[in-house]
Amino acid sequence: MDKPIYVTQPHLPPLEEFIPYLEKIWNNKILTNGGPFHQQLEQALCQYLGVEHIALFTNGTLALVTALQALRVTGEVITTPYSFVATSHSLLWNGIKPVFVDIEPNTLNLDPAKIEAAITPQTTAIMPVHCYGHPCDVDAIQKIADNYNLKVIYDAAHAFGVKDADGSILRHGDLSVLSFHATKVFNTFEGGAIVCPDAKTKLRIDQLKNFGFVDEVTVVAPGINGKMSELNSAIGLLQLKHVDQAIARRKEIDTTYRQLLKNVEGINCLLNSGEKVANYSYFPILVEAQYPISRNALYQKLKDQNIYARRYFYPLISDFPMYRGLPSARRENLPVATDVAFKVLCLPIYPELTNDSLQRIVNLIAEG
């Protein structure tokens, strides 16, 4: 049996490059609480991403929870059912009611045309997701938010380094939240961040992620422990040295998939983002009715060959027990998301994926 191939695998820096960082951590004995590598990584990420302020977190989920607290969001928040559960879980953790709105069929992002109908007097914010790193229609969403005086928090877990015509996609909305989980384009093994519009907001977020402390004897909010450690920060600094090369290889894999799958009937390749915006974080296909076998059958066929594609996102968030009782979670309200969830399959894409392995995946799909 061939070596397992997963949807994505952690891109690791050479071990010998990490040893000097490890020695510095051991020698200065600062392991957390905003140590020197933590400060360096915040500055380096601001420069790389083209943003002014970043607050690092131990993971992206705590960053989402804290972003909502930082903006004092309450009541109802309009969001997408087509995402990882952390998006909506962060709302429940804050006692906020998610209101699900359908997605666009081409981008799989929250459909701006459906947002206004979901707004009620209890709506205080919109939480869209840049799905697979493809940018939302940020202008349309912001216009609605401005008209109704709503906050906008972007779940940008997939959108590291993504740009639109005017710069980083992360500059949009009131806050953008990143994930640096091991499987992401840029990772710190485990981690996350909030992109902040100004120093005052970053200060509040830094306090909230450190139990609400201002100084040794002053606590101003019921904060949480969301700090990134020095070990994770050091990994991040190393990863930044290699991330452009990693994205370039992802682009090659994306291009090859599209070329090899374009004539396979019933396989629909999505989200060709173009040169300016893509980070090639995922490679989703839709298995349409014309394909000889079902999506689940193709998933199992690949799995039997040690190729672990992922039905990402299936089930919808709105189908899970803690959400499906909500009126907005009814499938008849979410026809596009429901349809896509039963068709989608994300194929392996990561820098170490070899051309031979890629060809083997395509051959299995082309067989039907």
Condensed to tens digits (0 to 9), the pLDDT of residues 217-252 reads 999 999 999 999 999 999 999 999 999 999 999 999
Report cis status (omega within 30 of 0) of the bond before 321: no
pLDDT at position 12 is 83
Nearest Cα to Cα of residue 197 among 171, 223, 217, 168: 171
pLDDT at position 235 is 96
Share of the chain above pLDDT 90, in %: 93
Question: In terms of CATH architecture, what is 15-238?
Answer: 3-Layer(aba) Sandwich (3.40)
pLDDT at position 274 is 58
Question: In terms of CATH architecture, what is 242-367?
Answer: Alpha-Beta Complex (3.90)
Lookup: tokens for 6: 């997963």
pLDDT at position 284 is 97
Lookup: tokens for 191: 């981690």
* pLDDT tops 60 at residue 293: yes
Mutual angle of helices 36-49 and 230-261, in 10-degree steps:
30
Nearest Cα to Cα of residue 83 among 301, 340, 306: 340
- The mean pLDDT of 31-40, rounded to a whole number, is 96
- The mean pLDDT of 260-289, rounded to a whole number, is 88
Phi and psi based region of residue 29 (left: phi greater than 0; alpha: psi -120 to 50; beta: remaining): left
Residue 187 in contact with residue 180, Cβ under 8 Å?
yes
Residue 63 per-residue DSSP state: H
* pLDDT tops 70 at residue 287: yes
Residue 101 in contact with residue 79, Cβ under 8 Å?
yes
Q: How confident is the model at residue 276 (pLDDT cuts 50, 70, 90)?
A: low
Mean pLDDT of the chain: 96
* pLDDT tops 60 at residue 11: yes
The residue whose two tokens read 């991403």 is 49
* pLDDT tops 80 at residue 1: no
Phi and psi based region of residue 5 (left: phi greater than 0; alpha: psi -120 to 50; beta: remaining): beta
Residue 308 in contact with residue 73, Cβ under 8 Å?
no
* pLDDT tops 90 at residue 199: yes
pTM here? 0.96
pLDDT at position 2 is 74
Residue 155 in contact with residue 89, Cβ under 8 Å?
no
- The mean pLDDT of 48-54, rounded to a whole number, is 97
Condensed to tens digits (0 to 9), the pLDDT of residues 151-189 reads 999 999 999 999 988 899 999 999 999 999 999 999 999
* pLDDT tops 60 at residue 309: yes
Q: Do domains 15-238 and 242-367 have the same CATH topology?
A: no
What are the extents of the domains in the chain? 15-238, 242-367
